[in-house]
Amino acid sequence: MGIRQQCSRRYTLLLRLYLGLLAFVSLCAAVVMGVEGIRLGAVAMGGICVLLCAAAFAVPLSSGRITYTRTGGTISIERGSLVRRRLIVNRSDIRYSEISGSPMERRFGICTVTFFTGGGKVRLRGINADDGRRLHYLFGGEAAQ
């Protein structure tokens, strides 16, 4: 039995903030276009605002379903809400790893860990920074050598 963990709730909050900011900007553009008399553009920007607000409510359905399990020398990553996809990566397949995060992600205490394997990149987004450092050390850092 491995250690099962989930995407941080702060990550879903950050995605909602980004979508809310985009919705606010599109709403402002719709108001400006309405005042200037560009009715079709105002309706289009209003529709974009509604879609962004709907996406902000749907964020936990997608990003809240990211889980990963550490078991010995493997990490199993599961993604998806309707169709679950599982990716299993062995420690021996990982060439190196990288931890990254935007300034807002660092402020929220979350990060993205990228594992570089022979088959390509495997990204694990929205995990706590402490867990990310632990995964980097165990699977791609000095401990994996």
Quote the pTM value.
0.74
For residue 143, pLDDT beyond 70 = no
- DSSP string for 34-74: HHHT-HHHHHHHHHHHHHHHHHHHHHHHHGGG-EEEEETTE
User: Do the beta carbons of residue 68 and residue 76 sit within 8 Å?
Assistant: yes
Alpha helices for the chain (secondary structure H): 9-36, 39-62, 103-108, 129-135
CA dihedral 7, 12, 14, 17 (to 10 degrees): 180
For residue 1, pLDDT beyond 70 = no
Give tens-digit pLDDT for 43-56. Answer: 998 999 999 888 88
Task: Return the closest-CA partner of residue 90 out of 110, 109, 70.
Answer: 70
CATH 2.30.29 assigned to domain 65-144? The reply is yes
For the chain, give every domain's residue range. 3-62, 65-144
Give tens-digit pLDDT for 73-131. Answer: 888 888 777 677 888 888 888 888 899 988 988 999 999 989 898 888 988 888 888 88
Pull the structure tokens for residue 101.
């995060």
User: Do the beta carbons of residue 98 and residue 50 sit within 8 Å?
Assistant: no
Is the model more confident about 141 or about 68?
Answer: 68
For residue 145, pLDDT beyond 70 = no
